[in-house]
Amino acid sequence: MRVTRLACKGFRCLKDLSFDPGPGVNILSGDNAQGKTSVLEALLFLVTARSHRTTKEGDLAAHGAHAFDISGAFERHGRPLAMEIHWRRGQKRFKVNGAVQDRVSDILGKVHVVFFSPEDVELVRGAGAVRRRFLDMELSQLSGRYLHALQQYRQVLRQRNELLKAPRPDESLLAIWEQQLARHGAIITAERRRFAETLRGLARDAYQRIARREDFEMRYAANIDADEPEAFLEALEANRARDIKRGASTRGPHRDELDFEIGGQPARNFGSQGQQRTAALALKLAELELVRQIGGEYPVLMLDDVLSELDARRSRQLAGALPAGVQCILTATDPGGGRSVLPVEHTAFVIEDGCLERK
Amino acid sequence: MLLNAPAMERLVDAFRQLPGIGRRSAERLALHILTAPAEEAAALGDAIAQARRRITTCSRCCDLTEGDPCAVCADPARDHSLICVVERPAGAIAIEKGRGFRGGYHVLHGALNPLEGIGPDELTVEHLLHRLDHESVEEVIIATNATAEGEATAHYLGKLITAKGVAVSRIAHGVPMGGGLEYADDATLSHALDGRIRL
């Protein structure tokens, strides 16, 4: 997978952008607030209809404007693919190869990208909810069965929690909803376990390639460790009295964890900034590899401001850890265009006040 | 100028309460009624009032009906030992249009939904159990929707009906008839695979 051209009009602070990235590593450099991240955001929005920075789409239009357009030319499995998104006062229109698409789901998955930004260190450092969202996002793209189970599980959980709020909850009614929690919960747990197992090996490899010495370990800690509805139901029933006392569902996949360890220590509490960032990056590189295994080609990798937080040695090793054949777009504040810290062959671009220029 | 006229606003607001009607449609409907011949508007008002007066719930199956008991419950040619339980009158109409079902119905008027404050007492569950005690029912088919709420309701009724010694079943969910597999969504397909039957 490769982007051959990204163009946009009226998007953030970018002036009628036209960006033709090269096949390998591309480095966008510039001072702060010149529009580096916005270029990545435009590409992300084009292929996912979402921004990583905001849920208010109006913020994406240039100041004072009510419309923006993004288009991209891609090469997928060696064949050309054109995508367009036109935003007019909150209304989105999508086109794929010139044909209008009715639903967002028609464009999702056409172009796979892996995005890493400085905030992604929260995957390692943040609360469990961040890691569960990561699992849910990835698995929902890979498995329709997972997405359905997850949506149903959430709805049933809300219903059961509502019953638990009553002064004296009816146990026979709670039991009714537990049947469905068990059915969907067991699917969620089994799929998360399988996914984490695959990701574990890939993330360990990636971590070692960047950091060399330290030993990275990742473990899926299911809150109810059962892949069969019957065993799952038993655990829920055994916990019912406690749930009634607490007024909430205290057990289930909504309390699952993904534990990371570096050198035998929990990365969340004991890892240094650099170690945590490397672990998060390793996770993203593992995702990159996983998508290739499933889809047959590497997604486009976007690394936003990743070099500023890694020391020189790790940056060099990151450069070495990028798989051959992956197209990568990375941003850097370094005036040297990242050249000094990223000794790989690359295409360099400079961005200043929303204008992009090839160096 | 009708804009902001109180009677107009009241009419528009009344239309907006209807399902699927937004502000624009409500205004269009209101303007149509106000510009149409007076008899037409009166006939509409009369039709609504008459329908509300004449249509009640059937004392046996709780479906909406003009005349009690309803046509299905009163039909001696139907198999009244078989009851199909649906959430809403629309469900009974859908199954009836399919023409394949010759039993009777029972309309719950909703599904278990704690978030909306709907428990068994808000549905016609008691009434259904009373029917099982007083009619010679052999089997109940539960045709509540394939939503979290519909499934919970099905499970709840299943337990109660089994306790009465009456056979109970759930309608199958799966691939639409005459439809290619490629048009079924992921969730339907995985449900259809889970619910496969042996040949």
In angstroms, the Cα distances linking A349 to A332, A359, B69, B98, B182 are: 10, 5, 79, 64, 44
Average pLDDT over residues B168-185: 82
CA-CA-CA-CA torsion sign (A264, A127, A155, A151): negative
Q: Looking at the complex, does the CB of residue B112 fall below 8 Å from at least one CB of chain A? A: yes
pLDDT tops 80 at residue A213? no
- Residue in chain A lying closest to B159 (CA): A176
pLDDT 10s digits, A340-354:
556 678 899 999 988
B80 touches B103 (CB < 8 A): yes
pLDDT 10s digits, A269-313:
888 888 898 899 999 999 999 989 988 899 999 999 888 777 777
* A window 124-163, beta carbon within 8 A of B: 143-145, 147-148, 152, 155-156, 158-160, 162-163
* Nearest CA-CA partner of A278 in A304, A305, A315, A320: A315
CA distance A117 to A330: 10
DSSP A167-219: SS--HHHHHHHHHHHHHHHHHHHHHHHHHHHHHHHHHHHHHHHHHSSS-EEEE
Fold of the domain spanning B64-172: Dna Topoisomerase Vi A Subunit; Chain: A, domain 2 (3.40.1360)
What percentage of chain B exceeds 90 in pLDDT? 76
> Across the interface, which of B114, B120, B186 has its CB nearest the CB of A159?
B114
Average pLDDT over residues A251-270: 92
pLDDT, residue A119, reads 87
Q: Which residues of A16-25 are buried (b: 16+ CB within 10 A; e: fewer)?
A: ebebebbebb
Three-state SS for B158?
helix
pLDDT, residue B174, reads 82
Is B112 in contact with A173 (Cβ distance < 8 A)? yes
Selected residue with higher pLDDT from B150 and B187: B150
Average confidence score pLDDT of chain B: 92
- Residue in chain B lying closest to A184 (CA): B148
What percentage of chain A exceeds 70 in pLDDT? 97
CA distance B123 to B146: 18
Enter the tokens of residue A20: 């033709």
CA distance A289 to B39: 72
CA distance A187 to B125: 31
In angstroms, the Cα distances linking A249 to A36, A154, A166, B64, B147 are: 44, 11, 13, 39, 20
pLDDT tops 70 at residue B10? yes
Is B151 in contact with A180 (Cβ distance < 8 A)? yes
> Whole-angstrom distance between the N-terminal and C-terminal Cα of chain B?
70
> Across the interface, which of B113, B120, B155 has its CB nearest the CB of A159?
B113
Task: Report whether CATH 3.30.2420.10 matches the domain B2-54.
Answer: no
Domain ranges for chain B: 2-54, 64-172
- DSSP letter at A255 equals G
- DSSP letter at A282 equals H
Name the strand (E) or helix (H) holding A275.
helix A273-295
* Nearest CA-CA partner of A116 in A348, A283, A345: A283
pTM value? 0.81
Q: Looking at the complex, does the CB of residue B187 fall below 8 Å from at least one CB of chain A? A: yes
Average pLDDT over residues B111-128: 96
Pairs of residues, one from chain A and one from chain B, whose beta carbons lie less than 8 Å apart: 50
pLDDT, residue A343, reads 65
Enter the tokens of residue A292: 């290739």
Amino acid in the structure at residue A147: L
Selected residue with higher pLDDT from A1 and B182: A1
Query: Which chain A residues touch B147 with a CB distance below 8 Å?
Result: 155
pLDDT tops 80 at residue A253? yes
pLDDT 10s digits, A47-91:
988 888 888 888 899 988 899 999 999 999 999 999 999 999 888
Three-state SS for A323?
coil
Amino acid in the structure at residue A177: W
CA B80 vs. chain centroid, Å, equals 19
pLDDT, residue B197, reads 82
pLDDT, residue A345, reads 83
Is A176 in contact with B119 (Cβ distance < 8 A)? no
CA distance A95 to A74: 13
- To probe the interface with B, which of A139, A145, A147 has the most B CB atoms within 10 Å? A145
> Across the interface, which of B114, B119, B152 has its CB nearest the CB of A180?
B152
Confidence of residue B191 (pLDDT cuts 50, 70, 90): confident
Enter the tokens of residue A171: 């146990």
Three-state SS for A42?
helix
Beta strand segments in chain A, E: 2-9, 17-19, 25-29, 67-76, 79-88, 91-96, 99-101, 113-116, 216-221, 257-262, 265-266, 300-303, 328-332, 346-352, 355-358
pLDDT 10s digits, A225-235:
988 999 999 99
pLDDT, residue A336, reads 54
CB atoms within 10 A of CB B193: 11
Residue A230 φ then ψ, to 5°: -65, -50
> Across the interface, which of A144, A152, A162 has its CB nearest the CB of B115?
A162
Enter the tokens of residue B6: 């109180």
> Across the interface, which of A144, A170, A179 has its CB nearest the CB of B190?
A144
Selected residue with higher pLDDT from B69 and A274: B69
- Residue in chain A lying closest to B156 (CA): A176
pLDDT, residue A327, reads 96
* Nearest CA-CA partner of A276 in A114, A123, A116: A123
Average pLDDT over residues A33-37: 90
Beta strand segments in B43-186, E: 55-57, 64-66, 79-86, 103-107, 139-142, 167-170
Query: Which chain A residues touch B187 with a CB distance below 8 Å?
Result: 144-145, 147-148
* Nearest CA-CA partner of A187 in A237, A220, A153: A153
